[in-house]
Amino acid sequence: MKDPDVRAAFKKKFDSYPVEHDPGVILTNIIKKQGWNSEDLDWLATLSVADFEKLFMDSGGDDLTSIIRAALQFGAFGGATESMKKITANATEALRKIGAISAINARRVASYGVSPEAPKAAQPTPYQETVVVAEHEIGT
């Protein structure tokens, strides 16, 4: 197609469609294609720790492995951009949070070189508080 008016009309129509970003697809493609573009990295850098945590928890199998490896790989680059650093930092923090959920999750995130958050002190359940109060009352 060589007509500039027709080309311009097609471009205008194409540009009018909203761009939908799927972080799982973008990160999986980074691994599969061994490359990325700066627009995708800039968009991924807008994801919060909570966004990465949800992405990781909602993914599974080989896709999960690819997604995590893609998100973490930028931290190893000497000339990493600010977007790359932010992607890796937020992904790492998300994995730390996931690792703090259970011992098995801690082992899983450790396989990616991430140390989980220290477990939070267990809060007594209402049942445990009741038992303690009952023991105290009985003892008096």
Rounded to the nearest 10 degrees, the angle between the axes of helix 61-73 and helix 23-33 is: 80
Side chain identity, residue 125: T
- List the chain domain ranges: 22-139
**78-134 tens-digit pLDDT:** 888 999 999 999 999 999 999 999 999 999 999 999 988 655 555 554 544 444 444
CB 21, CB 46: distance < 8 Å: no
CB 77, CB 86: distance < 8 Å: no
Q: Please state, rounded to an integer, the average pLDDT across all residues of the chain.
A: 81
Tell me how far the alpha carbon of residue 14 is from its chain's centroid.
30
Residue 135 has pLDDT above 50, yes or no: no
